[in-house]
Amino acid sequence: MNAYGALAASYDRLTNDVDYEGWVDFAHAILEKEGLKPRTVADLACGTGSATRILAQRGYRVTAVDLSGATSIGEDVFAFCLQLTSVKLGSAIAEIPARAFNRCEMLSEMNLENIKAVREEAFSYTALSEVVLSAAEQIDKYA
C-alpha cells in the first residue's frame, strides 16, 4: 500500500478545515474575470472528491482524476451531484459508503467489480438500471 492509500481513510477528517467552497469560489471568480463559462471541468488530484462534489452541485459536469491509489471514498461524497453520469472507481476501493451517490439522478454507469460492501442508500435515486456486485459480501438495507 502506498503512503496515500494508508492516509485515505482518514484524509477527510484531517482536511476538514480546508475551505473547498472558498477554493471553488476563487476558481469561479477567475473564470468569470476571463469571460470563460465552462460547463465541463476536470478536478485533477481530486483525492476523496471534496471539491468534485461542490463543482458538480454547482452544475458543472466534472471529470475527477486521482492517480494516488485511493482506498476509500467518503460518506455523501457525491450526493446530489445531479450532472454525474459515470464513475470509474480505483481497484483498491472495496466499499461504497452510506449515501455516497444518493440523488445522483443521471448516474447510469459505474464499475463495481471489486466492491465488497455497499452501505445504506449508497445508490438511492440514481439512473443505474443494472448493478453487478460479484465480489459483494455485505449489502445494507436500501443500498
pTM of the predicted model as reported, rounded to 2 decimal places: 0.64
In degrees and rounded to multiples of 5, residue 52 shows phi and psi of -55, -45
pLDDT of residue 7: 65
Q: Is the pLDDT of residue 5 over 70?
A: no
CA distance 46 to 66: 5
pLDDT of residue 37: 92
Per-residue pLDDT of 51-90, as tens digits, reads 988 998 898 888 887 756 678 888 888 888 888 888 888 8
pLDDT-derived band of residue 115, with 50, 70 and 90 as boundaries? very high
Counting Cα atoms < 13 Å in the Cβ hemisphere of 48 gives: 25
Q: What is the dihedral of CA 117, 120, 122, 128, to 10 degrees?
A: 90
Per-residue pLDDT of 14-54, as tens digits, reads 788 899 999 999 999 999 999 999 998 888 888 778 898 89
